[in-house]
Amino acid sequence: MRSHQPFEPISLQVSTQFDARSRSLTVTWHTPDDPSAFAHTRLFLAGSELPDRTYLTIVDAGDSSTMPVPPDVEPGTYRVDVETYSNGSWGGGRLTGTGSSPQFAID
């Protein structure tokens, strides 16, 4: 008989860089074991100034992305939440990693 172990997502290391001049955000994520093991990644902006997480983008088979900060995001302290998936099929995709960046300021 096969035992069912609860699945624990990999803990990701996430970093951000906010460019105030262009009001853009660069996010990178990886795991020390295999930095390229993810088929898709979803990025969300979260913080005390937002009632819920705000979807930023989806990335196909990569470990970084640069995107504009949504225009309705007000100045404040935020973090980026990252969710990675093991394959390209959303129906069969499996959450493989999660992580959050350190807090950063958006001016």
Confidence (pLDDT) at 100:
96
Confidence (pLDDT) at 62:
83
Confidence (pLDDT) at 66:
97
Question: Does a structural domain hold residue 66?
Answer: yes
Closest CA to 69 of 54, 50, 90: 54
Domain that holds residue 73: 10-106
Tell me the pLDDT of the chain (107 aa) as tens digits. 555 556 678 899 999 999 999 999 999 998 866 655 677 899 999 997 778 899 999 998 788 999 999 999 999 999 999 998 876 555 566 788 899 999 999 98
Domains: count for the chain: 1
Confidence (pLDDT) at 104:
96
Question: Does a structural domain hold residue 72?
Answer: yes
Question: Does a structural domain hold residue 99?
Answer: yes
Strand spans (E) along the chain: 10-11, 13-19, 24-30, 40-47, 54-60, 64-68, 76-85, 95-100, 104-106
Confidence (pLDDT) at 88:
59
Question: Does a structural domain hold residue 4?
Answer: no
Question: b/e for 23-56, b at 16 or more Cβ within 10 A?
Answer: eebebbbbbeeeeeebbbbbbbbbbeeeeeebeb
Question: Does a structural domain hold residue 38?
Answer: yes
Question: Does a structural domain hold residue 31?
Answer: yes
Question: Does a structural domain hold residue 27?
Answer: yes
| CATH number of domain containing 95 | 2.60.40.10
Confidence (pLDDT) at 61:
78
